[in-house]
Structure 1
Amino acid sequence: MALDDYYLLGRSGLRVSRLALGTMNFGQSGFHAPYGKTEDEARAIFRTYVEAGGNFIDTADFYTAGESERILGRLIAEAGLRERMVLTTKATNSVDSGDPNAGGNSRKHLIRALDESLRRLGTDYVDLFLLHTWDRITPVDEVLRTLDDLARAGKIRYAGLSDVPAWYAARAQTLADAHSLTPMVSLQLPYSLIERTIETEHVPVAQQLGLGVTAWSPLGGGFLTGKYQRDDARELAGEGRLTGDGATGRTWTDRDWDLLTTVRDVAEKLGVTMAQVAVNWAATQPGVASAIVGASRPEQLESSIAALGFEIPDELRATLDQASAVPPSSVYRMFTPEYQGWLVNPGAKVADKPVGYQPSVLNWR
């Protein structure tokens, strides 16, 4: 694989790079300010990505209080690459604490948020517009009608979802299909060797209904780079620096540290870095259209791009899968091959299957 090998995003004709450039750290304002980069620093990262053939850019109105969009818009215009880029932005988070309608997924807020994003980005449309997260309030049909109207107005080319329950994604896509509304083509979710819970429902939903999964935090919040050691865990956690991904509130367990050892062993056998193993694994998993990678400097991004330059052999991938597997819980235990075996008459004979037959019981990952 290479960055200029493009893949269709979900059930659409939109071609995107296997790695998307995350720009959450473009700018030095707002919530993300401590990790932010100046415009000159962001320019070097952006140019490294596009010069390698990348075309998939991810931002949001919430990132660095809108500064990410402003910087990104200037960089794209400066490079003259607007039509080549697949520009993605997102909206849900409140942009005005004093206004109850300045957040969430209501029609009022989404239209306002997109208009303001277009102004900051210096463009009259975005290629992909996502809900940033489920707001637990707005009816899904209101969201769909709004996205459809924005597409018909030419302000967005495609629509998608980010960080929503699997049932919500299924309902949204089903209603869109039933009423000939703009379909969802993308489902953005946290996914990595350390965080595989979306495989229970989200990935199957995406595969069945035509949504391309874009995986954010494929490095597990930096944990999978190997920069932290088990012996340092107590001290770093006490400083608030090793309490896991802020979005999930995860704390690292003995099982996680054991996984890190496995990732290190695989990296040594392949002659690559641990981070490259993690990015490669996430980007090539079933249902994943693209993995979102950020960078604090060009060299770091170059290393992530190089993660597309090798293949993880089947036996090593199986080792990673086993070490990182999420045991099925509750009713999901009933869908494993082991449980299904109890339901089949062991003496029954199975005839030859017709062409195109798909087994009803798949291997549990």
Structure 2
Amino acid sequence: MSLDQYFTLGRSGLRVSRLALGAMTFGDDWGWGTAEQTARAMFDRYLEAGGNFIDTADMYTEGTSESMLGKFIEESGARDRVVLATKFTYNAEPGNPNAGGNGRKNIMRAVEGSLRRLRTDYIDLYLLHTWDRITPAEEVVRTLDDLVRAGKIRYAGLSDIPAWYAARAQTFAEAHALTPLVNMQLEYSLAERHIEHEYVPLGQNLGMGITAWSPLAMGMLSGKYKPSQQGGEGDGRLAKIGNAPGFERFTARNWKIVAELEKVAKEAGQSMASVALNWVATQPGIASVIIGATKLEQLDANLAALAFQLPVDLRARLDAVSATEKPFPYYMFADIQQTRIHGGVAVGDKPSGYAPSVFVPKLAAREFKTR
């Protein structure tokens, strides 16, 4: 694979790179980001390598990320080439409940702010950032459809939502001929594999490609952290925030994964980060992997993740050490299916080639595939 090998995102005609440039680190407002000069160098390097998919959000570095990206894209003249994704949900005005959340009032407010900071008149992919536990899926879908019809966004998706909510939203869109959702942005890595049970088959069946965030488990899988009496230590934000709620990465299970990943990477002749990213990028249902960096050399190392194929035996070792227990009802769908449901007769899906595949010609040395 290469960065300029594009896949369509979900059930859509939008072509994106297998690695997306995450801009959450653009700006140092949070104390661990990067200054404008370095951010611009990473932006340029990503585009030079053939990448076209850039992810941000209105709340990243308090809006600085969007502002920087808007400036970079305008100065580079790359607006038509870039697939620009941003997100809404988080509150912009403390004390005002309607300046946050996923209701129509906030979505309409948020999109105008993002368009202004990004210096553009449209957003390629607009995402609900986080489920607010209040707003009906129907309201979100109708509002996103209105934004598509108004020309302010091209495509829509969801991030960090329950699977049932995503299914209801997509089904409502299909039933009422509204703009379908093409993307779910979810956490996924060797250290966090829970989306495999519900979200991956959901996306495959309902036409939503998955973009994986935190594929290195917030740096845990990069090799920069080591176990300590405090749980872990190293040069990065995890060492600063420790095991704060939602950031519990220094666990016995994860240290086992890190140890095996280190061995596999050494045998493969690759960096730990490259192997971890390669594993995510080649998993079922994953359309693109969001990579983030604070230094140019980190970005270069991440971009190398597509340059090799992980041997089957090494991949199997990573699968085994990171495997999660199957929760109910998934543990029931193995031997019981054959012996009790199908009467012991081998039953599978249609054979390969049963349905005609879609042929897309190769254009300008860039290959378009459907994921």
- TM-score after normalising by structure 1: 0.91
Q: Are residue 136 (structure 1) and residue 133 (structure 2) matched?
A: yes
Q: Secondary structure at the match of 2:16?
A: strand
Alignment match, 2:275: 277
Residues 76-91 of structure 1 correspond to what in structure 2 (within 5 A)?
76-91=73-88
Alignment match, 1:24: 24
Q: For the residues of structure 1 that align with 2:44 and 2:18, how far apart are their CA atoms?
A: 17
- Percent identical across equivalent pairs? 55
CA contact (8 A) 1:233 1:242 kept: no
Distance change in 2, residues 1:164/1:247 (3 Å): farther
Alignment match, 1:362: none
Q: Secondary structure at the match of 1:241?
A: helix
Distance change in 2, residues 1:76/1:245 (3 Å): farther
Distance change in 2, residues 1:166/1:302 (3 Å): same
Query: Per-residue deviation at 1:331?
Result: 2.3
| Match among 161, 164, 170 for residue 164 of structure 1 | 161
Q: For the residues of structure 1 that align with 2:348 and 2:277, how far apart are their CA atoms?
A: 40
> How big is each residue's C-alpha offset from its partner over 1:18-77, in whole Å with a ceiling of 9 and x where there is no partner?
000000111133xxx211222112111111111111100000000011111011000001
Q: Secondary structure at the match of 1:218?
A: coil
Query: Per-residue deviation at 1:260?
Result: 1.2
Q: For the residues of structure 2 that align with 1:314 and 1:13, how far apart are their CA atoms?
A: 32
Q: For the residues of structure 2 that align with 1:244 and 1:10, how far apart are their CA atoms?
A: 36
Q: Secondary structure at the match of 1:34?
A: coil
Structure 1 moving runs of 4+ over 6 Å: 242-247, 351-354
Residues 50-89 of structure 1 correspond to what in structure 2 (within 5 A)?
50-89=47-86
Q: Which amino acid aligns with 1:51?
A: E
Alignment match, 2:321: 323
CA contact (8 A) 1:243 1:250 kept: no
| Match among 283, 288, 291 for residue 290 of structure 1 | 288
| Match among 166, 174, 178 for residue 171 of structure 2 | 174
Distance change in 2, residues 1:187/1:19 (3 Å): same
Query: Per-residue deviation at 1:298?
Result: 1.3
CA contact (8 A) 1:219 1:279 kept: yes
Structure 1 residues without counterparts, runs of 5 or longer: 359-365
Q: Are residue 210 (structure 1) and residue 207 (structure 2) matched?
A: yes
Q: Are residue 306 (structure 1) and residue 332 (structure 2) matched?
A: no
Structure 2 residues without counterparts, runs of 5 or longer: 355-371
Alignment match, 1:257: 255
CA contact (8 A) 2:56 2:87 kept: yes
Q: For the residues of structure 2 that align with 1:108 and 1:353, how far apart are their CA atoms?
A: 45
Query: Per-residue deviation at 1:177?
Result: 0.8
Q: For the residues of structure 2 that align with 1:251 and 1:301, how far apart are their CA atoms?
A: 22
CA contact (8 A) 2:231 2:250 kept: no
Alignment match, 2:366: none
Q: Which amino acid aligns with 2:197?
A: T
Q: Are residue 116 (structure 1) and residue 138 (structure 2) matched?
A: no
Deviating more after overlay: 244-253 vs 112-121: 244-253
Q: Secondary structure at the match of 1:214?
A: strand
Q: Which amino acid aligns with 1:310?
A: F
Alignment match, 1:241: 239
CA contact (8 A) 1:221 1:245 kept: no
Q: Which amino acid aligns with 1:294?
A: G
Alignment match, 2:99: 102
Q: For the residues of structure 2 that align with 1:198 and 1:354, how far apart are their CA atoms?
A: 25
Question: Number of matched residues?
Answer: 352
